[in-house]
Amino acid sequence: MKAGGLDTAVLLGTAKGSPEDNAGVGHAMVGVALDQDPDDHCRESFSYVDHGSTRYYLAEATWSDPFTESWNYDEIGTAVGDNPWAEFSDIGIVKTPV
């Protein structure tokens, strides 16, 4: 995403229902800053966190096993703006280098 010119960050938090949450530890997700809602599929809502004046749309990098499952936009968690967890509570951010 960074190589494609997008403003990205690593969002640190808790993802209710994730394996990490069940183990009592935090979770990390990719955040992608966009000027408008993603326009890559027929979805009605998008998940994001705001940091200052920047809105980062959630992107789950580990939604499935890429070696056994093919990409499926109908599966929640496969596209920018999806949140496959019951809830993602943002508690920190690590900006990626320019």
DSSP state, residue 19: H
Q: Which residues contact 1 (CB under 8 A, 6 or more apart)?
A: 8, 30, 32, 59
pLDDT at site 9: 94
**22-41 pLDDT, tens per residue?**
898 989 999 999 988 988 76
Residue 8 or 96, more confident: 8
Answer yes or no: are the C-beta atoms of 12 and 91 closer than 8 Å.
yes
The burial class, CB within 10 Å (0-12 / 13-18 / 19+), for 62 is: middle
**52-86 pLDDT, tens per residue?**
899 999 988 776 655 556 666 666 667 888 888 88
pLDDT at site 58: 92
Q: If we measure between CA atoms, which residue out of 88, 18, 2 comes closest to residue 50?
A: 88
Residue ranges per domain, the chain? 7-95
Task: Please check the confidence at residue 45 and state whether its pLDDT lies above 80.
Answer: yes
